[in-house]
């Protein structure tokens, strides 16, 4: 009875989870395809730069990251800080930082003595912004010492984890449901084995074959 | 109609089973990338003794790299090959999922050394997740197996799109699941829109 109960709920869970994650899966699938095929003509877009010069006051703190956050508040910029003083600011500027949103980057150079911030907003086309949603939670490009500093990126990163775990749960549920269907077992075993062998070739096989 | 339902259900099942290991690769590597795990970061590096090589007069850096690694009996996906005239060096990164080699050729002496790191299985998953990726356009896919992986990565997307679309179709046929299903679909759509709008605007 308990087993039957699990089968019943597992089936429901498979359907409901799949429906809940449907748009997320489409987003990551299509953006993944775009990232893998950046040579496609419709994906390519020339960025457009918009420059401005805005007044800023010198923050109390001397910490570069805290200064960047303070300047962001002053200039009403929101997003994930990508890099601070990387590359190093050129004189007369004392601070350089870049802020990432999926469809645009903001580069800020601040001259505290002059009380001026040079702001450059670089906007990309729709598909580039769309694809950046795929990589937005990734920390890999930001260096070991960086951390997520924007609450939206934190929420997005939790969602990404949830989708990854959800996909694994759906797979396990799907495999369980298939195993309950006795007439489908033979062909299913062939399909699953084909998948396992071809995947293992890339994950383990290449390293073993090409020592 | 019945035949369409049966075919869709079977294809959903067979393709789902075939794709499941690949989806596990993407899901596990997603969590690793999301948490900046960089598995195998501290893996030890082994350096070979210098080996004499012939540096061909080749403009194309990928072809140059491929020629040199062939002389050393190495194969794999080449990264960005760098000529460094000031240091009199050519640096050739060679990757196989879970294994990284960097071949450094001293162009003054024509001696090559190979530094090998084997960060292992999880690192291989992360590497495959990023391959071919948005960078190194025109360079990536220079090794047959990684070109094959590129096709496989694209095929994964197409199959996922089919699995999700067929899943929606199979759900619509189940009248008993429509109400709760619609609630789940709606809840997913609302959270998706809120999150994406929050990131964009």
Is A117 in contact with A56 (CB distance < 8 Å)?
Answer: yes
Average pLDDT of span A29-45: 90
Express each pLDDT in A172-203 by its tens digit.
999 999 999 999 999 999 999 999 999 999 99
Q: Let me know whether B78 and B109 are in one domain.
A: yes
Express each pLDDT in A91-133 by its tens digit.
888 899 999 999 999 999 999 999 999 999 999 888 988 999 9
pLDDT at B96: 94
Q: Provide the 3-class DSSP secondary structure of residue A136.
A: coil
Residues in A 100-159 with any Cβ partner in B closer than 8 A: 101-103, 129, 131, 133, 135-140, 144, 152-153, 155-157, 159
d(CA B57, CA B59): 7
Q: Smallest Cβ distance to B189: which of A15, A23, A152?
A: A23
Q: Let me know whether B51 and B98 are in one domain.
A: yes
Q: Provide the 3-class DSSP secondary structure of residue B77.
A: strand
pLDDT at A160: 96
- Interface-testing mutation among B20, B25, B39, B123, with chain A (most A C-beta atoms within 10 A): B20
Residues in A 66-95 with any Cβ partner in B closer than 8 A: none
Low-confidence ranges of chain B (pLDDT < 70): none
Q: A103-133 burial by CB neighbour count: b if 16+ within 10 A, else e? A: bbbbbbbbbbeeebbebebebbeebbbbbbb
**Where do the CATH 3.30.160 domains begin and end in chain A?**
48-124
User: What is this model's ipTM?
Assistant: 0.91
pLDDT at B156: 97
Closest CA–CA distance from residue A113 to any residue of chain B (Å)? 32
Residue B139: name the closest of B73, B79, B191 by CA. Answer: B79
Chain B: residue nearest A170 by CA?
B20
pLDDT at A4: 66
Q: Let me know whether B32 and B66 are in one domain.
A: no
Express each pLDDT in B88-120 by its tens digit.
999 999 999 999 999 999 999 999 999 999 998
Mean pLDDT across chain A: 91
Q: Is B177 inside a domain boundary?
A: yes
Number of domains in chain B: 2
pLDDT at A173: 96
Whole-Å CA distances, B184 to A60, A68, A174, B193: 49, 41, 18, 14
The CATH number given to A48-124 is: 3.30.160
Of B72, B99, B118, the residue at which a domain comes to its end is B118
Which stretch of DSSP H or E encloses residue B14? helix B2-34
Chain A: residue nearest B28 by CA?
A164
Closest CA–CA distance from residue B63 to any residue of chain A (Å)? 20
Q: Let me know whether B158 and B99 are in one domain.
A: no
pLDDT at B141: 87
d(CA B38, CA B124): 10
- Helix axes A2-20 and A151-180, enclosed angle (nearest 10): 140
d(CA B74, CA B78): 11
Q: Provide the 3-class DSSP secondary structure of residue A99.
A: strand
Asked if pLDDT for residue A144 goes beyond 70, the answer is no
Average pLDDT of span A18-32: 97
> Which residue range is the domain that position B69 belongs to?
45-118
Contacts of B78 (CB under 8 A, 6+ apart): B62, B65, B66, B69, B92, B93, B94, B95, B139, B142, B143
d(CA A136, CA A142): 11
| Contact between B184 and A194 using a beta-carbon 8 Å cutoff | no
Q: Is B110 inside a domain boundary?
A: yes
Whole-prediction pTM: 0.92
Express each pLDDT in A148-165 by its tens digit.
889 999 999 999 999 999
Is A131 in contact with B134 (CB distance < 8 Å)?
Answer: yes
d(CA B68, CA B70): 5
Contacts of A154 (CB under 8 A, 6+ apart): A148
Phi, psi at B46, each rounded to 5°: -105, 135
- Interface-testing mutation among B16, B74, B77, with chain A (most A C-beta atoms within 10 A): B16
Judging contacts by C-beta atoms under 8 Å, the chain A residues touching residue B149 are 202
| Contact between A199 and B187 using a beta-carbon 8 Å cutoff | no
Of B118, B133, B167, the residue at which a domain comes to its end is B118
Rounded to the nearest 5 degrees, what angle is found at the Cα of B125, between the Cα atoms of B124 and B130? 95
Chain B: residue nearest A35 by CA?
B134
- Interface-testing mutation among A101, A203, A204, A211, with chain B (most B C-beta atoms within 10 A): A203
Express each pLDDT in A55-95 by its tens digit.
999 999 989 999 999 999 999 999 999 888 888 888 888 89
Q: Let me know whether B16 and B52 are in one domain.
A: no
* Helical segments of chain A, H only: 2-20, 22-36, 64-75, 126-135, 151-180, 185-200, 206-209
Grade residue A38 by pLDDT with cuts at 50, 70 and 90.
confident
Closest CA–CA distance from residue A88 to any residue of chain B (Å)? 24
d(CA A18, CA B65): 45
d(CA B190, CA B124): 35
pLDDT at A87: 81
Q: Is B123 inside a domain boundary?
A: no
Q: Residues A60, A63, A64, A68: is their CA dihedral positive or negative?
A: negative
pLDDT at A184: 95
pLDDT at A91: 82
Grade residue A143 by pLDDT with cuts at 50, 70 and 90.
low
CB pairs under 8 A between A and B: 194
Of B98, B118, B138, the residue at which a domain comes to its end is B118
Which stretch of DSSP H or E encloses residue B153? helix B144-173
pLDDT at B89: 95
Q: Let me know whether B96 and B157 are in one domain.
A: no
For residue B29 the two structure tokens come to 């590597």
Q: Let me know whether B65 and B27 are in one domain.
A: no
């Amino acid at each position: 009875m308990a087993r039957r109960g699990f089968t019943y709920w597992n089936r429901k869970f498979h359907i409901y989870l799949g429906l809940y994650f449907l748009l997320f899966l489409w987003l990551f699938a299509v953006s993944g395809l775009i990232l893998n095929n950046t040579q496609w003509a419709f994906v390519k877009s020339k960025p457009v730069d918009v420059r401005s010069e805005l007044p800023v006051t010198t923050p109390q703190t001397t910490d570069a990251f805290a200064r960047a956050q303070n300047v962001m508040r002053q200039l009403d910029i929101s997003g994930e800080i990508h890099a601070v003083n990387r590359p190093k600011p050129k004189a007369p500027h004392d601070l350089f930082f870049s802020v990432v949103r999926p469809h645009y980057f903001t580069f800020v150079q601040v001259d505290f003595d002059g009380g001026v911030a040079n702001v450059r907003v670089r906007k990309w086309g729709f598909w580039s912004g769309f694809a950046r949603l795929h990589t937005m939670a990734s920390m890999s490009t930001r260096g070991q010492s960086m951390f997520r500093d924007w609450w939206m990126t934190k929420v997005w990163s939790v969602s990404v984890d949830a989708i990854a775990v959800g996909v694994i749960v759906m797979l396990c549920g799907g495999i369980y449901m298939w195993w309950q269907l006795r007439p489908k077992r033979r062909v299913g075993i062939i399909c699953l084995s084909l998948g396992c062998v071809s995947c293992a070739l890339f994950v383990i096989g290449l390293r073993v074959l090409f020592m | 109609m019945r035949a369409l339902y049966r075919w869709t259900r079977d294809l959903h099942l067979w393709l789902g089973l075939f794709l499941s290991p690949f989806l596990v690769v993407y899901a596990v590597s997603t969590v690793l990338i999301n948490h900046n795990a960089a598995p195998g970061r501290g893996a030890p590096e082994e350096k070979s003794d210098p080996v004499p090589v012939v540096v061909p007069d080749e403009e194309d850096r990928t072809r140059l790299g491929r020629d040199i690694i062939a002389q050393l009996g190495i194969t794999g996906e080449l990264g960005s090959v760098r000529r460094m005239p000031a240091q009199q060096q050519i640096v050739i990164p060679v990757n196989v999922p879970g294994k990284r080699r960097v071949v450094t050729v001293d162009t003054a002496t024509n001696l090559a050394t190979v530094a090998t790191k084997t960060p292992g299985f999880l690192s291989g998953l992360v590497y495959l997740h990023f391959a071919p990726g948005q960078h190194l356009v025109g360079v990536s896919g220079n090794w047959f197996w990684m070109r094959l992986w590129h096709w496989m990565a694209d095929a994964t997307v197409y199959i996922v799109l089919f699995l999700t679309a067929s899943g929606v179709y199979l759900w619509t046929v189940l009248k008993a699941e429509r109400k709760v299903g619609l609630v789940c679909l709606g809840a997913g759509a609302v959270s998706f829109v809120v999150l994406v709008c929050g990131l964009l605007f």
